[in-house]
Structure 1
Amino acid sequence: MGKVIITVQMSADASIGPDIGWFEGGEHEYAGEQEIRLADAFLLGRRTYEALAPIWLATSGTFAEKVNGIPKYVASRSASGEPLRWNATALKGDLAGEVRRLKGEHEGDLLTYGCGEFAFELVRSGLADEIRFWVHPIVWSESRRPFHGLGPVRMSLKDSTVFRNGVVRQTYEPVSVE
């Protein structure tokens, strides 16, 4: 059975907004690539899909071929009716039921990027198995934060990895939503 893993890049002050000019590459990127290599599919909210699809569709190379070939499942409350590209399928009907079905169909990870409404709904529904925060050593001061305005999420720390460039990956298991 597949695991739903929420993964999010953020600054030390928890900025996760669309202006990620603070993001710098480094040795932690190998671990991020491994995260993708272990994924059977991407499970994305509409906004994240719309942000990532044009970037990856315009990228070439062996790793881009891997990313572009992975199935993507897109959840949207405001679907535009346009056909999805980037090897993507729209999730229809009951979100929780669809994600449970996908967890049963996939052996590997179902990787979710971002930490907004869609990720919160996965946690609230008890469908998220892990949340991975990749904390970068910079203060950026954007207003967007993980689960911003959606309510407290209690978590239990499973693992923490510190990379030489100062990035820290913290892996949590969601415990409850209050």
Structure 2
Amino acid sequence: MDNGPRRLVVSEYLSLDGVMEDPMWTMPYWSDELAAYKRDELFAADALVLGRVTFEAFAEAWASRTSEDGYAERINALPKHVATTTLGPGEVDRRGWNGRHLGDDPKAAVRSLKGGAGGDLLVFGSATLVRSLVRAGLVDEYRLLVYPVVLGQGKRLFESERASLDLVEARSFDTGVTALTYRPSGAGRQNSPL
């Protein structure tokens, strides 16, 4: 675990044409090597930052699961900071799964979380939240698993957001999936005030 300020890391599954919605299309490309990559990513994190829809879907999928490699136990134990305008703070708490409401200003809450010491703050899915965090200049790293499939339609990670990024790592898996790690470049980093 790092003792410096936390990083906000966006981790997404993307089709070659940028679709991130309902990623069941990723399953034919899953492998032990890819599972190890995702496990390492999760174990480097101290908390998850999720939108409401992703939080609810993940809670349903993971809350009662166990796993041999400890992934399920880890994702279940991590605190989940939830951005939602639909659920109030009490409602997020009552849903369990270590949910914590980010409050009325999720960007300010994330900025505060980043100011603390600890491991990564990891964002899965949560397209609307990610777009907001990109516009606020709060994303420190993008980990994009790009799958060798074109879906033609669906929700895309980026719609009208612009960002200049530096490629810091590229890794290919034997199933044709490519892991691309980007960080905002100095020239393109947006630092808009909240």
Structure 1 length-normalised TM: 0.89
Question: Deviation of residue 93 (structure 1)?
Answer: 2.8
Residue equivalent to 1:77 = 85
CA pair 128-146 structure 1, distance change in 2 beyond 3 A? same
Mapping 1:1-178, distance limit 5 Å = 1-18=5-22, 20-23=24-27, 24-26=29-31, 27-61=33-67, 62-79=70-87, 82=91, 83-114=94-125, 116-148=127-159, 150-174=160-184, 175-176=188-189
Give unpaired runs (5+ residues) of structure 1: none
Runs of 4+ with deviation above 6 angstroms: none
Task: Give, in whole Å, the separation in 1 of the partners of 2:52 and 2:101.
Answer: 9
Is residue 10–residue 123 contact of structure 2 (8 Å, CA) maintained in 1?
yes
The Cα of 1:19 is off from its aligned counterpart by 5.0
What is the CA distance between 1:94 and its match in structure 2?
A: 2.2
Counterpart CA distance in 1 for 2:128 and 2:77 is: 26
Identity over aligned pairs, percent = 33
- One-letter amino acid of the structure 2 residue matched with residue 25 of structure 1: W
Structure 2 spans left out of the alignment, 5+ residues: none
CA RMSD, Structure 1 to Structure 2 (Å): 1.8
So what's the TM-score if we normalise by structure 2? 0.83
The structure that is helix-richer by fraction is 2
Greater share of residues in strand: 1
Kept in 1, the 8 Å contact 2:53–2:126? The answer is no
CA offsets per residue over residues 74-106 of structure 1, 9 Å max, x none?
001222662232111011132222112211234
- C-alpha distance in structure 2 between counterparts of 1:60 and 1:112, whole Å: 21
CA distance in 1, matches of 2:140, 2:126: 14
Alpha-carbon distance between aligned partners in 2 of 1:43 and 1:128, rounded to the nearest angstrom: 12
1:127-166: per-residue Cα shift (whole Å, max 9, x none)? 1100111001222233211123x43333222211112221
- Rounded Cα–Cα distance in structure 1 between residues aligned with 2:161 and 2:112: 26
Report the number of matched residues: 176
Q: Does the C-alpha gap of structure 1 residues 76 and 94 become closer, same or farther in structure 2, counting only changes over 3 Å?
A: same
Is contact 1:2-1:104 (8 Å) kept? yes
Partner Cα separation in structure 2 for residue 96 and residue 144 of structure 1: 22
Helix, strand or coil for the counterpart of 1:153?
coil
